[in-house]
Structure 1
């Protein structure tokens, strides 16, 4: 196994020869890396020249955990996506955004191939440090699929228009749709909303106590959503009425039938977006194998592993995937990259921040209430909603925590 410091250049750095940091992904963890690293490099006592490039397939920061509300409220959809050029803290000459995707990296030469939008033009990118923060690829409608803010507003607008004008219940299939169902009912109370789940408890896939799953059910039902447990979807057949209205005749495997205006598949099929990384750095299911320092797990098959980091939902680590955890990991990675820079420039022995075991914890917004579960057990109610989400599913909390306005929290 290699040391923490192997194969990292110690050449002199200047404004003309800054450290080049390439970040794949501009959501919670990727932005946390950039902002915390810049803050450390900007210190008057020991300034370090750095140039950060953030590559993302979207043209802006999208508040993913706000998706349930963005798919129910047009005004909130406008707020939930902010173009990168409109994020004040990152409007500086040493930060640039590339609208595209990282196609592959060569850890040995420290080069990447970027496919730039809109025509997927290949361009090489040389770096000193690389951070994988591209998260999980989630299907519609768990998150919108658009790559531009304009297309996203059209996409969410079509969905909102369809559900608002429903003449029969809107059927949401899958436990991932708890918040989606609740937000739709909260924002559009005239719409009949049904949530169907194939198991006997909500949140069945999560390592949570039964009382948490039962509380999720109670809170969902309190919003007015009709919950169908043990209902696995068998078929959904579109039918057109005489007036041209399209409905869906739905049948479940238990024999129950219903008619729905819209059938929304909120089933989690999320897969790590890690195809650009060396196979040796990935687990069997595609998550990135890391050390507690967020560096790639040391491997003879991955050159310069110490200069490559991974953060956010794509890492192979304990705990339920959460926005707060992603920002925490990004914070640590930014600090640890800075420590390596200090070692090269000043000979200081690095003091790394290390990620510990993350026990199961969750925050779930359900209408006007929320529930939380963690080290102190379960809490639920309106106060929990205020603590964890406020009135905008956590947008303000995240914006201020990441200091996106350019001011310190």
Structure 2
């Protein structure tokens, strides 16, 4: 489709179509690639200059030299269709996205893919160059290497994988995991898979303190090697050299909160219909973690959402019926270090060796590099 520049410098196609994708995570790059393949005019906006394959963030936290493989530059894939910047708000009346500094980008359709935020190293939602991001992970590896003992706070899926990664890479280190609940990993997983995650951690030598909360976490520095005494609400004291926090994930709503206040769920996600249209806006879609869909927050689901959103943009232009998104049985794989894993496919428990082969060895890095049409270093 031909395009032209409007008076404000935004790109508009000859027929007025211009899709703006806010957020370059798994949902954002999936949506952008599908828009690109359909020949639609679009702009992808992200505050970083590279996609972060954060499925592999925890491996990058323990293995020297690994982090550079987890960042893939947007511009090499999307060229001028990529704009680096932080979205401050959306002007729904004028149909513009407003960036920090005042730049405005017009849209006919908007796809919000802002994801979730949380503590480093599981998340890296910071305005930074690839070099700065890689250095942050390499510095963290140094802290892990210097520590004789590591405390992982939080036994959801991230905490379980973090403890397993550390213990696999550094089997001689003491690794303790504290979790406020008695069952580990994601509650959407089969009980037998959650029990298997516990079994793998125990086999690797991770010490588990379950059903306990840390009461003085704010008194200590995270991610820095420094001797600490951590106390739990069961009067247990843990001495450790390094504390890694794997709790506190939240929907990253800062880009749209003020603009779509009437469409927000209690957790900050956007209420959507079955077609993934934001409540009250036929031309605005929410994809991935920021969509209020009752299912685990996973890259796999974000990519499925993106396919529905882009199909519905195309269908709305051609007058075809819109496609609905339906949740299915949970598919989730947990990498328990590079040599083991637990999980389920379509609601059925998988053998550990199958998960290790399918995910744990490469953490699906090949998939993102292929999707971004670049060669992995």
| Counterpart for residue 202 of structure 2 | 221
Residues 1:101 and 2:91 aligned together: no
Quote the RMSD (CA, aligned, Å). Answer: 2.2
- Map residues 86-235 of structure 1 onto 2, 5 A cutoff: 86-87=76-77, 90-91=78-79, 95-115=80-100, 121-148=101-128, 149-167=130-148, 169-175=149-155, 176-203=158-185, 206-235=187-216
Q: Residue 102 of structure 1 contacts residue 276 of structure 1 at CA under 8 Å; is this kept in 2?
A: no
| Counterpart for residue 332 of structure 1 | 308
- For residue 406 of structure 1, report the CA deviation from its aligned partner: 6.9
- For residue 390 of structure 1, report the CA deviation from its aligned partner: 4.9
Q: Specify which of 233, 244, 251 is matched with residue 231 of structure 2.
A: 251
Name the TM-score, length of structure 1 as normaliser. Answer: 0.81
Q: Residue 329 of structure 2 contacts residue 347 of structure 2 at CA under 8 Å; is this kept in 1?
A: no
Residues 1:71 and 2:61 aligned together: yes
| Counterpart for residue 364 of structure 1 | 334
C-alpha distance 296-258 of structure 1, shift in aligned 2 (>3 A): closer
- For residue 190 of structure 1, report the CA deviation from its aligned partner: 3.2
SS at 1:103 equivalent:
strand
Q: Residue 263 of structure 2 contacts residue 270 of structure 2 at CA under 8 Å; is this kept in 1?
A: yes
- For residue 25 of structure 1, report the CA deviation from its aligned partner: 0.4
C-alpha distance 251-212 of structure 1, shift in aligned 2 (>3 A): same
SS at 1:295 equivalent:
coil
| Counterpart for residue 260 of structure 1 | 240
Q: Specify which of 341, 344, 358 is matched with residue 373 of structure 1.
A: 344
C-alpha distance 28-110 of structure 1, shift in aligned 2 (>3 A): same
Q: Residue 178 of structure 1 contacts residue 366 of structure 1 at CA under 8 Å; is this kept in 2?
A: yes
C-alpha distance 276-153 of structure 1, shift in aligned 2 (>3 A): farther
C-alpha distance 238-351 of structure 1, shift in aligned 2 (>3 A): closer
**Structure 2 residue ranges without an equivalent (≥5):** 5-11
CA distance in 2, matches of 1:102, 1:158: 29
CA distance in 2, matches of 1:391, 1:279: 42
**Structure 1 residue ranges without an equivalent (≥5):** 1-12, 42-49, 116-120, 240-244, 300-304, 344-348
SS at 1:334 equivalent:
helix
- For residue 219 of structure 1, report the CA deviation from its aligned partner: 1.4
Q: Residue 238 of structure 1 contacts residue 247 of structure 1 at CA under 8 Å; is this kept in 2?
A: no
Greater Cα shift, 285-294 or 323-332: 285-294
| Counterpart for residue 54 of structure 1 | 44
C-alpha distance 58-384 of structure 1, shift in aligned 2 (>3 A): same
Q: Residue 319 of structure 1 contacts residue 361 of structure 1 at CA under 8 Å; is this kept in 2?
A: no
SS at 2:265 equivalent:
coil
SS at 2:103 equivalent:
strand
| Counterpart for residue 28 of structure 2 | 30
CA distance in 1, matches of 2:363, 2:35: 27
CA distance in 2, matches of 1:141, 1:406: 25
| Counterpart for residue 118 of structure 1 | none
SS at 1:122 equivalent:
coil
| Counterpart for residue 373 of structure 2 | 405
Q: Specify which of 18, 21, 24 is matched with residue 20 of structure 1.
A: 18
CA distance in 1, matches of 2:152, 2:360: 25
Name the TM-score, length of structure 2 as normaliser. Answer: 0.87
C-alpha distance 14-235 of structure 1, shift in aligned 2 (>3 A): closer
Q: What does the per-residue CA deviation read over 1:213-248, in whole Å, with 9 as the maximum and x for residues that have no partner?
A: 211101122223222212321236669xxxxx8311
| Counterpart for residue 75 of structure 2 | 85
Q: Residue 25 of structure 1 contacts residue 134 of structure 1 at CA under 8 Å; is this kept in 2?
A: yes
Q: How many residues in Structure 1 have an aligned counterpart in Structure 2?
A: 355
Q: Residue 181 of structure 1 contacts residue 195 of structure 1 at CA under 8 Å; is this kept in 2?
A: yes
Q: Residue 335 of structure 2 contacts residue 360 of structure 2 at CA under 8 Å; is this kept in 1?
A: no
CA distance in 2, matches of 1:296, 1:144: 26
- For residue 146 of structure 1, report the CA deviation from its aligned partner: 3.4
CA distance in 1, matches of 2:105, 2:3: 18
C-alpha distance 110-253 of structure 1, shift in aligned 2 (>3 A): same
SS at 1:386 equivalent:
helix
C-alpha distance 37-86 of structure 1, shift in aligned 2 (>3 A): closer
